[in-house]
Chain A
């Protein structure tokens, strides 16, 4: 009996810790369903959708969601094949300069977007790329190149080379080995790459705010900040938008979080 009580206590403690930890987020979720935010706290038990109804009628949130999706999906569609192929190259082929190229890739993982934003601003001016959501997606893909390559390479490294050899003896070309033999085995890594690229792109404010200047091309993040600047006290609409903005990345990250450590570490063991 005693161990059982102990186990219940640990589980309850875990739940309590979790609630305290996510309280700031929980709080804005609750308040976003709250009709009059600075009214009485007991109102919070009578949730209403009025804030959500308001933002769909009076703000550009729909359009901005569309813009964000365009940029994030472009990033995803570009990085998935490119990182999978690069990962195969780094994992399976020996070539001159591999070490240097790989080190260069690792360095891009620590290159801060804050130091890149001005260089990108120059490039965008040079190429007339401002307000181009697909170009923004390419920038996201570049910033996430190391992440995806490291993750997929880690999966390739864990597949025995004898697979490749067997396929080659059967007469497969390198492409066929990649596509028919190895790719199905690294699909989880590729899916996780897609998710993390999307989530990282979805979280970005910095690049979107400096490379997008038209209000009609704003992504949700930039749109929300602009809205906060214009309507400081309209907390109902602000919080409802914030909750909507958080949904895609929270859901996708939660689904893929078990791959997160491998993404970051690139397979370094403790």
Chain B
């Protein structure tokens, strides 16, 4: 143990390994205290390099022996070339397919090409985008779509998770069925919903007591967004169901029992005990869900192609239409840059926190 702390290189790797914010202070304290105290502090700070189970399995007895330690050191850390063998291939692909094209795209967004002539135009593409009303209406439509789908999916997913968070012998057959909408390719769910919304389709038949002739759901500017939002909720609710159910099942039953003994009703247990207990998984699910929804393309495009007129043209669809039906690749490049910046700004704080927990 003594030589471990001595040999263990820069303390930085220790500090950021511990999740809690008091870790640096604990570390600073450990540098001034004798070895035994250090061991205690070290054991107290969560070392995410190894799981708790792993730490327990090692036990205290095999620590601090020079021979084994040198082995562990060889296992634990490595020089750059050796690391590159392991992590390198995945990063090569990420750089090639993501980082490089994104940077290239940033460059492209400052150029304009027409009829084969490419010329530097500075921020003209961006000025064009921000100058047109379409940006703001697309932005608002994206918010509308994202909020509607997110709220619907979350509530539906939570209700399903609460319902299925009990022992039912049908569960094992039903769970794989309930997740079908999530597993469907976007084109299939869109086709299904276009079919349902079609004139005289299932929805018109169900609603026939209320309407003489059903409205044309996907052609009416006022109805089209709610109609695609319903389809979007349907498609994504199983995601929330699976995540929240896993969260609910991780709650020790004693918690609910204790709350019940204290006289809490079902609603109180949900809001005061269960939801707070699974807040990490709720946060993760919501952030990923929001980002995926805001950028969801198939579910809208394959139903409406952004129409009627531009009534369902969210930002992702605008990019696609700009590039592949207006053939304005320069403006589409600039739009991609904008969307990327928006997404990263929204996701980065959460990702930073998560990186600390998971690395």
Residues of chain A whose beta carbon lies under 8 Å from any beta carbon of chain B: 7, 10-11, 13-15, 17-18, 21-22, 24-25, 27-28, 31, 38, 78, 81-83, 85-86, 88-90, 92-96, 98-99, 101-123, 126, 138-139, 141-143, 145, 149-150, 157-162, 164-165, 168-169, 174, 199, 202-206, 209-210, 221, 224-225, 228, 235, 238-239, 242-243, 245-246, 249-250, 252-255, 257, 260-261, 264-270
Contacting residues, chain A, for B13 (C-beta < 8 A): 94
User: How far, in whole Å, are A242 and B329 apart by their CA atoms in the complex?
Assistant: 31
Instruction: Tell me whether B210 is interfacial, beta carbon within 8 Å.
Output: no
A206 touches B297 (CB 8 A): yes
User: How far, in whole Å, are A216 and B248 apart by their CA atoms in the complex?
Assistant: 48
Instruction: Tell me whether B180 is interfacial, beta carbon within 8 Å.
Output: yes
User: How far, in whole Å, are A269 and B182 apart by their CA atoms in the complex?
Assistant: 22
Closest residue to B340 on the A side, CB-wise? A115
1/0 contact trace for B77-92 toward A, CB 8 Å?
Answer: 1101011011101110
B280 touches A268 (CB 8 A): yes
Closest residue to B106 on the A side, CB-wise? A119
Interface size class of B (residues with CB under 8 A): 35 or more
Contacting residues, chain A, for B198 (C-beta < 8 A): 235
1/0 contact trace for B322-359 toward A, CB 8 Å?
Answer: 01100001001101100110011001100110110111
Using A107-B351, A117-B319 as known contacts, list a sample of 12 further A-B pairs with CB atoms less than 8 Å apart, ordered by residue number in A.
A13-B163, A14-B171, A22-B178, A28-B191, A93-B83, A101-B91, A114-B319, A205-B298, A239-B195, A253-B179, A254-B180, A270-B246
Contacting residues, chain A, for B302 (C-beta < 8 A): 205, 225
Contacting residues, chain B, for A27 (C-beta < 8 A): 192, 195-196, 202
B298 touches A24 (CB 8 A): no
Closest residue to B355 on the A side, CB-wise? A103
User: How far, in whole Å, are A127 and B294 apart by their CA atoms in the complex?
Assistant: 30
Which listed residue (B98, B176, B280, B347) contacts A142, Cβ 8 A? Answer: B98
Residues of chain B whose beta carbon lies under 8 Å from any beta carbon of chain A: 13, 16, 48-51, 53-54, 57-58, 62, 68, 71-72, 74-78, 80, 82-83, 85-87, 89-91, 93-94, 96-98, 100-102, 104-105, 108, 160, 163-164, 166, 168-171, 174-189, 191-196, 198, 200, 202, 234, 237, 239, 242-243, 246-248, 250-251, 277-278, 280-281, 284-285, 287-288, 291-292, 294-295, 297-298, 301-302, 315-316, 319-320, 323-324, 329, 332-333, 335-336, 339-340, 343-344, 347-348, 351-352, 354-355, 357-359
A123 touches B320 (CB 8 A): no
Which listed residue (B195, B315, B324, B355) contacts A99, Cβ 8 A? Answer: B355
Contact A111 to B98, CB < 8 A, known contacts A14-B163, A94-B76, A168-B71:
yes
